Amino acid sequence: MSATPTENACHPSGDTLPARIVVLGIGNLLWADEGFGVRCIEALQRRYEFADHVSLIDGGTQGLYLIQHVQEADALLIFDAIDYGLEPGTLKQVRDDEVPRFMGAKKMSLHQTGFQEVLSLALLTDKYPQRVLLIGCQPQELEDYGGSLRPVVKAAMEDALALGLDALRQWGGEPRERQSPLSSREAVTLDELALAAYEAQRPAADEACRIGDDRFLAGPSGEAGAAVTLDGAASLQRVGG
């Protein structure tokens, strides 16, 4: 894959910078800490601007549909919630060829199964990025549908962003504080699902039925509630790029 020669303090003569950098957040923000990766991408885009050859992508749970982004990348930065078996909020970095093997051994959800296959396919087709960095966070809660990041994971997100920004600087991604406003059309996350709006609008846990919809649960007589059509549910996620 192509790379741009450079010479500076971080990259001495003979080293190269990646010609295309992809920053990918994967996960499902509707399931509490599963949304860690997507929230990292959202925060990076809202706070920073980058060089033209840097792409920020909300990969959601798309699995194999992300293969083209991986194959086209010279450097790949991944944010995800990973079950390391550690204390919640603990961050761990995995690099290069170790990333697909690690994700294959530490499957936590279906999206990780799909993305491990993406990385393996990139290796098989000899289109694996020259540099890969996975920044994973140990989740605390994954079974709270409609919940948000737990405080310990939200706090860890700031450290994860700092690690990611440091890698992007070394790769020539040129992160800088955002000067121009971010339009809703540019945003990788729908305004309604942005972290602040999502947390402000959702009902409290003791008011929400997050283990099932009470319209379908059996009532005192044993009869289920009336069926309700949930129009528009499929529009809750969108990929930016």
pLDDT digits (tens, 9 = 90+) for 88-102: 999 999 998 888 776
8 Å CB contact between 118 and 66:
yes
Q: Average of pLDDT values for 131-159? A: 89
Single pTM value for the model: 0.74
For residue 77, the model assigns a pLDDT of 97
Strand spans (E) along 82-233 = 91-95, 131-137, 176-177
- Could you tell me the CATH superfamily of domain 3-191? HybD-like (3.40.50.1450)
Has residue 207 got a pLDDT over 80?
no
Closest among 171, 152, 153, 158 to 23, alpha carbons compared: 171
- Report the alpha-carbon distance of residue 188 to residue 191 in Å, rounded: 9
Please return the burial class of 201, using the count of CB atoms within 10 Å of its CB with bins 0-12, 13-18 and 19+: exposed
8 Å CB contact between 69 and 24:
yes
Q: Parse the chain into domains and list their residue ranges.
A: 3-191
- Which residue type occupies 210? R
Band of residue 208 on the pLDDT scale cut at 50, 70, 90: low
Band of residue 116 on the pLDDT scale cut at 50, 70, 90: confident
Closest among 24, 22, 48 to 38, alpha carbons compared: 24
Report phi then psi at 154, rounded to 5. Answer: -65, -40
pLDDT tens, residue by residue, 14-58: 468 889 999 999 888 888 888 899 999 999 999 999 999 999 998
